[in-house]
Amino acid sequence: MTLKTGFLMLMILCMLPLAGCWNYREMNELAIALAMGVDKLGEDEYRFSFQVVNARDISGIKATGRIPVNVFSGKGRTLFEALRKASQKVPRRINAQHMRVFIIGEELAREGIEELFDFMERDPEPRLTTRVIIARDSDAETILKTVTAVESIPANAILGKLKVSGRVLAESYEVEMDDVIRGLLTKGGGPVISGIRHVGKVKSGEKISNVEQTELQTDLFTSGMALFKNGKLAGWVKGRQARGISWINNKVKSTIVNLDCETKKDALAIEILRSNTKIKGEVKGERPLIRIQIEGIGVVGEAMCPVDISKSAEIRKLEQLWNEETAHDVMAAVKTAQKLKTDVLGFGAAVERANPKAWKKMEKDWDEIFPTCKVEVNVESTIRRTGMISKPFLLKEKK
């Protein structure tokens, strides 16, 4: 073999890996779904819904005045059949690789979501980072059909509301598919999934006229968090209980804690800047002890009472009140979870880390042991700043 022949053969071998993608699909052959929803209809029928983007209407080349998305649904006796039935209504192949939110109807959530996520995990297209939401007091299709303000694509609006409320209020937070799957594997517990509620007239929300006025006829709001047990929706928490779940699961990025000031209720607001939670388990006899340690840093955001927060003694009082309010939220969440007998708080994992041998004995009876766990909450809060002023105008009026 000559050098020239050998070189040619080497070149041919190098070109073999560059033959191209055998399963490629052109963009103009795909229908990009940014949101997907699934509902249970009756005892033996499912409905899959897709929110598909109209690329031409969002390209900006030519304004059409139409809604930039369409919702297509399919029904079937199995999840796979319902998924494929939806393709009868779409002129392109539905692609879920860019799906941003996955919405589950409340009725299906109450019956169980284990089979649903087994199906979703098998499908290679949906990403496990897709956010999961429960349609509270509604079905997924209704949520997907609602035209939203500010964001023209409802999927982006839903995800944006979830992100913002999680960052500033902490009564809900983002949960990904991967989080849900790991939660379903939790012994004696389950995942925590944020909810979204439809408010207003259903039919009005499906029309573009819904966003052509200053006050929307119908809208979508983040609403509490769903607690699961053995793959089924066990109950809802909202308000301070929901915030307590966020404290325990170390999901608080920022929130507002209202404090009483003298005789005035909720007259002073503390803005949380940072928070960190650690859970430790301890086994004493047959009743585990769970210690929850929370550290927080915040600032005074509002003072509607005559309090001189330029004095360190007043700051210490406010920090103590803040500690008590946080502990109250946490214990409210603990009592709710124990009442529902669902360990969505990770207490079992804390016991296992502390004493693996004891956990092996408790594991099979954890459903009965969890509601009896003793819980101690220790909160250490620090107020770093008081804003641009330290003495409220009300203090001068009092003098």
| Spatial CA neighbour of 186 closest among 125, 234, 222, 140 | 234
Angle at which helix 114-122 crosses helix 177-184, to 10 degrees, equals 130
Give the length of the chain: 399
- The radius of gyration of the chain from alpha carbons, rounded to an integer in Å, stands at 26
pLDDT band, residue 26 (cuts 50/70/90)? low
- Which residue in the block uniquely carries the two structure tokens 């009756």? 42
Is 60 exceeded by the pLDDT of residue 77?
A: yes
For residue 293, which amino acid is it? Q
**For the chain, which residues make up each domain, given as ranges?**
27-237, 241-399
Distance CA 357, CA 283 (A): 10
In this prediction, residues 345-369 reach a mean pLDDT of 93
Helix (H, G, I), strand (E, B) or coil at 274: strand
Is 80 exceeded by the pLDDT of residue 390?
A: no
Fold of the domain spanning 241-399: GMP Synthetase; Chain A, domain 3 (3.30.300)
Is 90 exceeded by the pLDDT of residue 264?
A: no
266 — phi, psi (to 5°)?
50, 50
pLDDT number for residue 60: 57
Q: What is the model's pTM?
A: 0.89
